[in-house]
Structure 1
Amino acid sequence: MQRWLYLLLITSLTACTTVTDKSDVRVNANAAQCREVISAAQQLIDQEGVADSQAVRVEGFGYLRSNRLLASFKDQLNEPGQFDAWLDQLQQLGIDGLTIELANLPAQSRALLPQQPVFYACVSTLRQADFAEAAAQQRLIDSVAVPDEYQTWKRIAGLYWLTAWATKYGTEGLYSDIQATYNKPMVTDNLISYRPPTEENYDAAAIMARAYRDQALGIPALTTEDKNRLFAAFAPTIAVETKTDNDRIGRLAWSATNKPTVVITERPTVYRHLSYTRFNQQTLLQLNYSFWFPARPKQSALDYLGGNIDGLIWRVTLSRAGEPIAYDSIHHCGCYHLFFPTQQSCIKPSTALLEEPGFSFQTIQSNSNTPLTLQLAHSSHYLDRVIEQPLTTDTEVEYQWADYKELRSLEKPGTAGRRQSLFQSDGIMAGTERGERFFLWPMGIPAPGEMRQWGHHATAFYGRRHFDDADIIERYIGLNDKTVCQ
């Protein structure tokens, strides 16, 4: 980076923090300076390799970011207040991403940039300047796009329309094995149960009523207190058949040895974050519970599924009344996407030949007040079944909560406070390679089998599907009052 750019950043410090509304000319001047500041910061972030890709930067609006949910709204902002509410969401994602990236910069690089309040002031300045005229709204709408996780060139090079049939056959065999395991008697030996912290019960319906109040886009907004209450209300117990330390859940950390990432099993932890889905013309809240194992150990030298770090995401999709409509789960590689309808829903039938169907081996029969237990196999950590009644095991451990956002900025040991995301700029967790990458690459998914960040979970090897698709639940789940469930 050139010396003049450093000087620009320093001289912009005052300009960006003294914004006034007295003159459009003054606002525009500050906006130009702020644009340079944010652009230069992004160049430095990219140069240092600390870009965070959980949300995607919006081309031409460097202070805004989008995800698949928000991108799905861009052509439907017709009611008063909807554009501004949408812009608020894009802006918050932009601030979140930039804040994490600035924290992850090496100290010598961070020292070249203005202090964090300058960036926050610049975001407000740029929003005011960019959207002073209604015509700019359409420019933003046209610019918002979130690319999918499938690399078409790989599908072309790998003769996808031929090789996908072999993948389809293998996937169907895998799901047949999962169904067969569910039909077997439940494992009762060597189980360790990880239970959520005990908390008071709350009225989920009342929480949801507050969350939807006065939301122009219909995206529920929770206070921190209500968010914690909902996560506690639907928290699963995790029962793992435990034969080695690789079957113990823990807290992720940077390693002080040659392994990039480790799981500290002495601190059982469940990471949580919110997401949203569009279902039957409503936007529904989703509770995501993520947990991690040290490894999926290889069973032999030819085991192409084994490798460092493993884990699952368990997701609860709530109706506006605060009752589960459906559950689903993936491993952190995006693999093994399982759907669990409830009494009020079902799996939609699939008719497409090369579109991976929604697979379900179990319907959750209990009501929303019954705590669920996820039973996992040893080594593979497959989700064998969901248990709908209290389960007593020889060993019970209480897990602790953590924010999924922590994984995007963790202190590295022996680096004098240097912080770094556990995920690379492409959303992949380094050091989690799997052998399947050598023969599944024609399906177009980057680094098949490797652990990845939220927003990067392609969950179908044939066809196209993402765990965070805005319509993911609606595509595969129907309500029982619809003919699709008959």
Structure 2
Amino acid sequence: MMLLSALLLIILASCTTLPKHPQEDNRVAFTVRGGETLLSRHAPVFVIENPGASHNLIGTPGATLTPGDKETIYTDPSRATVYAEERPFTTPKGSYTNLIYRVHFENIPGGFMPYYLGKGKNVGLLVVVTLNSGHEPMLYTTVHTCGCYLAFVPTSYLPEDSFPDGWKRGRQAVHSENLPGYLTHNASSPNQGKTMVLLRNDTHRVKDIWRVDTDSLPDYRRIHAEVLPLSSLESLPLERGGTTSFYETSGPRTGYVKGSQKSRERLFMSWWAFDWRIGEDKKLGVTKEDGVQFYTSLKPWARDASDMRDFPAFLRHWGWNL
């Protein structure tokens, strides 16, 4: 057991010093076109490392049929799509709106140097922006579409009594990444800026989050991503007509992204996490009756409480008092 733990630490460990940002000749940012909707105004800008590798590019899920009518699901890195949706929710303290942004990548590569535990295809990332009743961003939640690598970054719009006990406002270590513990927004103009999300090479881990003024965006090469409803992932067009879902719609993998099996995580983690499909990407349902359980804690007894489909309960589990 100690040897296995040491192995996992070696696999997962990375430097927790301040994250380095891409050099001037290697700056690529994925943006969505401006607009008056909440989803457009608050959409993050995704900055990626090593854009020369296709698997680092935000892509567009698609589907094709072989001559024998066998379906293949893939993520096309030649064009970028951000899937987005507004979801209101209420708690005893007030009414809020979640802006959900979902992006997918071709894969996490599967070599041995470095060795990535999350090797697999069609992997994805969620960024959830929680707005208060005045449509000001209070909290950023990032998580991979397998439910792993969860991170929270609160902002200056979050009331003091809503923070978890003991929350530190400096930098925070999150699964070996170094992220801010607090973002300051311009209180007089919450929409006059952009939230930048830096994604790590190969693994697509969130490496840093920061705010910039709209009129002083960094000089990155920009790629404009199309914005589509989150529901469109359930009706991918087929070349010969008709549509198919990005997710399995029957059998034991119902709700999981097609082709997202994670052999390494199954080998090293499934037996002690009590989940044969650990690490597999999945749909984020609207309610607990919609889709597969989207747990964010590896503790088997905390899976229901940490399920993001019930966002108020999910927040309470992690100590947030909205």
* TM-score between both structures, scaled by the size of structure 1: 0.51
* 2:158 is equivalent to residue 335 of structure 1: no
Which has a greater percent of strand?
Answer: 2
- 1:409 Cα deviation after fit: 1.8
SS of equivalent to 2:179: coil
- 1:261 Cα deviation after fit: 1.6
Structure-1 separation of matches of 2:219 and 2:110: 27
Structure-2 separation of matches of 1:199 and 1:253: 26
Structure-2 separation of matches of 1:472 and 1:276: 15
Structure-2 separation of matches of 1:282 and 1:394: 38
Deviations 1:345-403 (A, max 9, x none): 465149xxxxxxx9893111123322111111111111111121144244211111101
Count matched residues. 277
What residue number does 2:170 align with?
Answer: none
The one of 383, 390, 412 aligned to 2:238: 412
What residue number does 2:205 align with?
Answer: 382
Q: Which runs of 5+ in 1 are unaligned?
A: 1-162, 201-228, 351-357
SS of equivalent to 1:471: helix
Deviations 1:73-93 (A, max 9, x none): xxxxxxxxxxxxxxxxxxxxx
Q: 1:170 to 1:317 in 2, by over 3 A?
A: farther
Structure-1 separation of matches of 2:313 and 2:245: 28
Query: Contact 2:86–2:100 at 8 Å: present in 1 too?
Result: yes
What residue number does 2:22 align with?
Answer: 187
Structure-1 separation of matches of 2:72 and 2:138: 38
What residue number does 1:459 align with?
Answer: 296
- Could you tell me which amino acid in structure 2 is paired with residue 381 of structure 1? H
Query: Contact 1:270–1:289 at 8 Å: present in 2 too?
Result: yes
Q: Which runs of 4+ in 1 moved over 4 A?
A: 256-259
What residue number does 1:211 align with?
Answer: none
What residue number does 2:169 align with?
Answer: none
Query: Contact 2:157–2:185 at 8 Å: present in 1 too?
Result: no
- Could you tell me which amino acid in structure 1 is paired with residue 133 of structure 2? R
Deviations 1:139-186 (A, max 9, x none): xxxxxxxxxxxxxxxxxxxxxxxx9xx88x968x95x747x15x2333
- 1:311 Cα deviation after fit: 1.9
* TM-score between both structures, scaled by the size of structure 2: 0.75
- 1:473 Cα deviation after fit: 2.4
What RMSD, in angstroms, separates the aligned Cα atoms of the two structures? 3.2
* 2:223 is equivalent to residue 402 of structure 1: no
Structure-1 separation of matches of 2:277 and 2:39: 31
What residue number does 1:437 align with?
Answer: 266
Structure-2 separation of matches of 1:238 and 1:396: 10
Deviations 1:79-123 (A, max 9, x none): xxxxxxxxxxxxxxxxxxxxxxxxxxxxxxxxxxxxxxxxxxxxx
The one of 244, 248, 273 aligned to 2:57: 248
Q: Which runs of 5+ in 2 are unaligned?
A: 167-173, 286-291
What residue number does 1:348 align with?
Answer: 164
Query: Contact 1:277–1:473 at 8 Å: present in 2 too?
Result: no
Query: Contact 1:286–1:315 at 8 Å: present in 2 too?
Result: yes
Structure-2 separation of matches of 1:466 and 1:398: 32
Structure-1 separation of matches of 2:284 and 2:156: 29
Q: 1:388 to 1:256 in 2, by over 3 A?
A: same
Structure-2 separation of matches of 1:343 and 1:421: 39
- 1:255 Cα deviation after fit: 3.2
Structure-2 separation of matches of 1:348 and 1:444: 28
Query: Contact 1:274–1:287 at 8 Å: present in 2 too?
Result: yes
- Could you tell me which amino acid in structure 2 is paired with residue 374 of structure 1? V
Query: Contact 1:279–1:473 at 8 Å: present in 2 too?
Result: no
Query: Contact 1:466–1:472 at 8 Å: present in 2 too?
Result: yes
Which has a greater percent of helix?
Answer: 1
- Could you tell me which amino acid in structure 1 is paired with residue 20 of structure 2? P
Structure-2 separation of matches of 1:401 and 1:260: 23
Q: 1:445 to 1:284 in 2, by over 3 A?
A: farther
What residue number does 1:20 align with?
Answer: none
Q: Radius of gyration: which is bigger?
A: 1
